[in-house]
Structure 1
């Protein structure tokens, strides 16, 4: 009834698309899934020849989506290989290996605040009182001595 009515239905929520006879003549009928409200929407398309084309196009796109659904952002990790430098001197090679092992030791000894915070374990008698956090704007358990909220939210991505 409204000529400027616009609808956007994700293929994930589309149940069926077909042409049916209605009181207004032939119409494009789109049904949505139960999870999205189970709507039945009817659209009149003029000229009637275009109605079948639109219906078959929607059905083909829906079938293609069902065969290979897209649930969100596509992510593909690309590993860039650095050019290998040939090490001529044996002393340089051993020095480079020592640097690598020292760097690994430093990474292993780095304390992750979140892990350290929960490493003490939980005991029933060791519950901390609930306090209001001005930073987060919600009530939280009182933070252990030596930690801050910023420490707990910091993510180390090595």
Structure 2
């Protein structure tokens, strides 16, 4: 992991925090209790509850470690407080049109919140890097795995201040 901050929306940070709290405060203690019970049943080498429990505990501890590192590096940026709403910055929802006038709507979010299927792209993805700083009417060339494609910025939107995303 590099030293750049983990830009994330308030909603994305909340989801990371909820997952961390659920794993650390609920799932892990239940699993430790099950492992303790299974360990007290005798031979651990053939005890499925014990073996599976230890394996699952390692997975949970790894995920908790990863989540805590991501949250420690988090730089929460609220897109609703963006002063320049005429340009594409972190948190913007952008309508793009390609050469065939096919529109695509993307929202620039943190790496941990990206979901391309729902139009949420990482702010460091090729398409986001190409359109950052653009204004409505600008045309930007994007390098995609399928080749280069030109997109025109049709609309830029940000959440309203005080509204959840």
| TM-score by shorter chain over 0.5 | no
The structure with the greater share of residues assigned to helix is: 2
TM-score under structure 1 normalisation?
A: 0.22
TM-score under structure 2 normalisation?
A: 0.21
Rg larger in structure: 1
By relative contact order (CA 8 Å, sep 6+), the higher-ranking structure is 2
